[in-house]
Amino acid sequence: MVVKSIIKLIKSLQQKKYRNEHQLFVVEGKKSVEELLDSDFKCYGVYHTAENDLIDSYSKAELVSAKELAQMSSLTTPPGILGVFHFPKPTTPVFDDWSLVLDDIRDPGNLGTIIRLCDWFGIRQLICSKQTVDCFNPKTLQATMGSISRVQIHYVDLKEFLTQSELPIYGAFMDGDSIYKAKLPQKGLLVMGNEANGISEAVQKLISQRICIPSYRESSTESLNVAMATGILLNEIRRG
């Protein structure tokens, strides 16, 4: 039986202020837990029901009742296993490749999908404005499917960061130059803006080149979802 204090701690990690206070976060689902166990993230504990005992050989895995797991979980239908991990140690950004920059992304699902896209396209570094949603938000982690273990995420003062950068800075805009005609360098920064307002005015002034994904037919669609657009742009960057 898990002591009530542990259940209370894990439940509290659904809120950002307690994640920051304890420097801990929760992932749910067998694949995500195993991905993080195989990474450099330090594990605090793993809790699972009898139906998910494949991970029972892990020293910090603890068998719990379905009721106890439901009390810990942030999901309506818990997957039967969750892991608690320590925040990674801060690292210094390294600019030897393309990096993705997010200017005030607010939707946790969008951020999670973008992290997964970074993993897929080999973008190892994600730079986020301080207003961007927390990467350890439960909904974000759910969407990453474990990819957060392979992408370094930095929260910075974006204006200061971009001002100091020596790399070319590309920004995604509705009225930019077609990405399909752009001559892209071997390394640079790609900036994606807020879901509703796009790239902020302060950041726009620091953009080297405005790029877009052209539409090929008249449509009432105002714009692409930011995660979808990120996937298309990263694909073009990797196509070279």
Please give the full DSSP string across 174-203, using - where no structure is assigned.
EEEEETTT----SS-EEEE-BTTTBS-HHH
Position 18 scores a pLDDT of 98
pLDDT value, residue 223: 80
For domain 4-86, the CATH architecture is 2-Layer Sandwich (3.30)
- Assess contact for 181 and 70: CB atoms under 8 A: no
CA separation for the pair 105, 111 (Å, rounded) = 7
pLDDT at 238 over 70: yes
CATH code for residues 99-239: 3.40.1280.10
Q: What is the mean pLDDT of the chain?
A: 93
Is 186's pLDDT higher than 90?
yes
Reply yes or no on whether the pLDDT at 227 is more than 80: yes
pLDDT for res 60 = 74
Listed by start position, the domains of the chain span 4-86, 99-239
Give the residue among 53, 72, 230 at the shortest CA–CA distance from 238: 230
The pLDDT of residue 216: 81
- List pLDDT tens digits, range 38-68: 999 999 999 999 776 656 557 678 889 999 9
Question: 31: Cβ–Cβ under 8 A, 6 or more apart, which residues?
Answer: 145, 146
User: Are the beta carbons of 55 and 46 closer than 8 angstroms?
Assistant: yes
Instruction: Give 65-115 pLDDT, tens digit per residue.
Output: 999 999 999 999 999 999 999 999 988 888 899 999 999 999 999 999 999
Q: How far is CA 156 from the centre of its chain?
A: 15
pTM (two decimals): 0.93
